[in-house]
Amino acid sequence: MKVLVTGAAGFVGRAVVARLMGAGHSVMAAVRNADDAPAGTIACPIGDLAGPVDWRPALAGVDAVAHLAARVHVMREGAADPDAAFAAVNVAATRGLAEAAVAAGVRRFVFLSSVKVMGERTTVGRPFRDDDRPAPEDAYGRSKLAAEDLLLAMPGLEPLILRPPLVYGPGVRANLRALARLARSGLPLPFGRLANRRSLVGVSNLAQAIELGLTHPGAVGRRLLVADWHPTTAELAAALARAAHRPMRLLPVPVSLLRGAGLLLGRGAVARLTQPLEVAPDGLAGLGWRPAVPPADELAALMAALARE
């Protein structure tokens, strides 16, 4: 099978490329610049997704698309109109690619969305489920939901929507990278009282789910959550320290103090660390998805990658 992977040079993209090539598939790597394409792929430079893109060369001879490229959520949004900025890439560019895929006779289309289309938090004992009503709270989540809707409504397309929570593994950025570096430092961390659970998914297991979605007949037209681990924040911090072979001391700092002070990671990051956000990936499990890489192994790879930097 020949697969077009957008965002092939990114954190998730590289894992998907490695997974597909390891299974014997050929990969067209849609990247901003040709030099960014992972080794062994067919480079397809497309420039900036916010501008016009001619997808025809990238789709030539392709059997399926894994659309991973996106304007991603950031803690400090700089755009004057965030909804327009996110829509230009996550909605308009997705529509352009999907229309070009249909015109080229490419039907199977896996779209990497986000749990943020569901909302920012869950209640204890009530995880998000695949058929829950979406309730995005920011421009990123709204743009992803709009892209989902247009893909599912497009004639001639066989889309699968995957909604991951926080993705972990080697190459991770942003808040989890910051937490991993803190855990690797061996310093005491003020998370001893954090009992909220946050679902996560390892990048290797997410790549496995994407590969499954490219071929499984039961995946078509679905919106599916994906997660492989549901630790408390304290358990996550301790697991990161173990993966780095560091001692871990978790200080019992009251949650209210953490929220007020924004200790170490910033107020936005602390808000996410202290709130529950669990998902139940029942639909994906029903397709036969069984996560192959244990969380401890993915965390070990993450910490080893940090140590090499």
Q: What percent of the chain has pLDDT over 70?
A: 94
More confident residue, 264 or 268: 268
In single-letter form, the type of residue at position 190 comes to P
**pTM of the predicted model as reported, rounded to 2 decimal places:** 0.94
**Please, which residues have CB within 8 angstroms of residue 223's CB and are 6 or more apart in sequence?**
113, 130, 148, 152, 161, 163
d(CA 156, CA 186): 54
The Cα-based distances of 260 to 113, 249, 253 in angstroms read: 31, 22, 12
In order, the DSSP letters of 39-104 are: TTSEEEE---TTS----HHHHTT--EEEE---PPP-SS---SSHHHHHIIIIIIIHHHHHHHHHHT
d(CA 4, CA 109): 10
Mean pLDDT of the chain: 93
Q: Which domains does the chain have, with CATH numbers?
A: 2-169+201-227+279-291 (3.40.50.720)
Q: Give Rg (Cα) of the chain.
A: 19
d(CA 20, CA 51): 28
- The model's pLDDT over 99-118, given as tens digits with 9 standing for 90+, comes to 999 999 999 999 999 999 99
Q: What is the pLDDT of residue 76?
A: 59
Q: How large is the average pLDDT for residues 192-216? A: 96
d(CA 108, CA 213): 9
143: pLDDT strictly greater than 80: yes
pLDDT level of residue 266 (50, 70, 90 thresholds): low
More confident residue, 274 or 46: 46
d(CA 118, CA 123): 13
- Please answer whether residues 9 and 17 qualify as being in contact, where contact means their C-beta atoms are separated by less than 8 angstroms: no
The Cα-based distances of 206 to 25, 168, 200 in angstroms read: 17, 10, 10
Q: What is the pLDDT of residue 264?
A: 54
The Cα-based distances of 52 to 34, 48, 140 in angstroms read: 17, 8, 21
Q: CA angle, corner 40, sides to 21 and 305, nearest 5? A: 80
pLDDT level of residue 194 (50, 70, 90 thresholds): confident
Indicate which residues carry an active-site annotation: 140
How many Cβ atoms are within 10 Å of 82's Cβ, its own excluded?
A: 17
Least confident interval from 32-46, 146-160, 260-274: 260-274
E strands in 164-309: 166-168, 200-202, 222-225
In single-letter form, the type of residue at position 40 comes to G
225: pLDDT strictly greater than 80: yes
